[in-house]
A and B are shown apart, each in its own frame.
Chain A
């Protein structure tokens, strides 16, 4: 298959990445060569093969639903790019 610049532009919005027209051209070419390369994954017979998400199979770990210590507010806010004393600030979500 082949990805067009339109396809790649759509993926870029899904991925929340602003791409310049130049980057869009470069990435379209590079992503197409990678997608061509991974096409060989269709070669082996995977009939009745279960997908493997972790090399070492892990089970769900449960713990009691009790409140433990949490990060203090000031520590949680300390790396915020924009904040007031209590909250993270972002561009207005509602008009």
Chain B
């Protein structure tokens, strides 16, 4: 059962060779014996085993079961699960138990999946290293002195360390693809609107999208099919048929024109990462792909545009945490610092609660967003960022007239050391330089393992496709997966 995939487990479960209860016990044992990695914020063994026994009973009775029946799925701790702790990596939500399920959780339950714990993350999904969690950092299974990426670091590490065969994360500026790259797993960010965001604790609503972490593309296709689809409860979810991604995965793409954007090979790219990505291009060439140079001239403005748009949206979304309806409330809000005497007690209660409940990065982004939207600055910052956002999307539209998929590195460097970038917010922001533009443009992207550094750290290859072209994106990635065995390598966890 070691290093199983969802597909391989399903084959064994459906053949009656194993029971879900045994599968769950095996993952529980493994997670328990490697607790030091701090992958889970919350994992309730009894609840997981109960779900497994229920699925086993259905199977044994010959009743129909869903597409993921009996398969454990680890869940990023920002997806609401009714009655289960859902902290979003924040002290603010330390005791929060959502009164309803996120739509993707409902879909997983309908598919018979076992909800296997809540994974660690940067607080409110703001970060690239999982070091911003109020519950301590997660360690990278490949090198425990290094970060697992972020913000979905727990979900990436869960799959890499074989604590769960698959997991869900969310991607606002690269938070699925970058941790997938530095943990050596597959990570897919679907098109904006493909997957319902209902019950996803909002960070930046025009950018957030839920997607899977897996060992391979067959699992990614399977999970994407399960979680996709229109939802009345998310006004931005798109009403469009969900293709049968697993069924078409192994068909060779009819057209295999791959764009290499020169902007993705600029200053700051680690030479070992570049070598691995150039080798991937060669492999595609050998497989018959037509490689084209393309240009995304405004992609250098991706990070600055993002660091206006995302904080602006977050400053609005996070205003709901005010110590009244749910979340942390301070015990004491009497005036403490100069100027506070003049403020209404209710305002002081909110200010004290938010000061105690949020960590430094969340405060920084709320401040930045509040500033960018404030009277006198909104045109200069927020509206200008939205105009640049359109230029960035136009750049992709132009490039996709010539090519089917754009290829490049996922992350400019392999996993960095814990603590290396925590003192310098801007250095941390640049970890997402290659992933961030896809969120601004709304297009799908995935990261797939494409090699290892000399010190055995995973390297990720990013593929980007036009909106709603996930089918072709997966099939194009599959061409590479078939030619390589990077995805089969596992960390030597003792």
Footprint of B on A, CB under 8 Å?
A: 3, 8-9, 11-21, 23, 27, 30-31, 33-35, 37-38, 40-44, 46, 49-56, 58, 60-61, 63, 71, 75-76, 78-82, 88, 90-93
Contacts and interface: CB of A to CB of B under 8 A. Distances in A.
B305 interface: yes
28 contacts: A15-B366, A15-B367, A16-B351, A34-B307, A37-B426, A38-B308, A38-B381, A40-B300, A40-B304, A41-B301, A46-B387, A50-B387, A52-B393, A55-B207, A55-B389, A55-B443, A55-B467, A56-B238, A75-B99, A79-B96, A79-B326, A79-B327, A81-B326, A81-B327, A81-B353, A82-B329, A90-B346, A91-B346
Contacts of B78: none
Main DSSP-derived SS at the B contact region: helix
Contacts, number: 175
A15 B367 CA distance: 6
B374 A58 contact: no
A38 B371 contact: no
Interface in B76-103: 95-97, 99-100
A74 B106 CA distance: 22
Contacts of B307: 34, 37-38
Interface size class of B (residues with CB under 8 A): 35 or more
Contacts of B363: 17, 19, 23, 27
Contacts of A8: 367
B99 A20 contact: no
B99 A16 contact: no
Nearest to B319: A16
Interface stretch (B55-63, B242-250, B333-341, B474-482): B333-341
The 9 closest A-B pairs by CB, nearest first: A55-B442, A51-B386, A81-B329, A79-B326, A52-B390, A56-B442, A18-B355, A46-B387, A75-B99
B349 A31 contact: no
Given A15-B366, A58-B236, A71-B99, A51 B298 contact: no
A81 B96 CA distance: 10
Interface string B400-420: 000000000000000000000
A32 to B, nearest CB: 11
Interface string B295-316: 0001011001101100000010
Contact of B367 (A27, A38, A60, A92): A27
Contacts of A34: 307, 364, 368, 425-426
A52 B389 CA distance: 6
Give the residue among B349, B374, B388 with the most A Cβ atoms within 10 A.
B388
Contact of B351 (A18, A76, A80, A81): A18
Contacts of B366: 15, 17
Nearest to B333: A91
B374 A11 contact: yes
Given A20-B337, A33-B426, A54 B442 contact: yes
B346 A93 contact: yes
Give the residue among A15, A53, A92 with the most B Cβ atoms within 10 A.
A15
Nearest to A48: B387
B235 interface: yes
A33 B336 CA distance: 28
Give the residue among B319, B370, B383 with the most A Cβ atoms within 10 A.
B370
Contacts of A12: 351, 367
A40 B191 CA distance: 28
A82 to B, nearest CB: 7
Contacts of B393: 52, 55
Contacts of B367: 8, 11-12, 15, 17, 27, 31
A21 B324 contact: no
B97 A55 contact: no
Interface in B327-385: 327-329, 333, 336-337, 339-340, 343-355, 358, 363-364, 366-368, 370-371, 374, 380-381, 383-385
A7 to B, nearest CB: 8
B105 interface: no
Given A11-B371, A30-B364, A53-B386, A63 B232 contact: yes
Given A16-B350, A46-B388, A52-B393, A88 B325 contact: yes
Contact of B345 (A52, A63, A91): A91
B361 to A, nearest CB: 10
Contacts of B315: 15
B70 to A, nearest CB: 30
B381 A18 contact: no
Contacts of A82: 329
Nearest to A78: B99
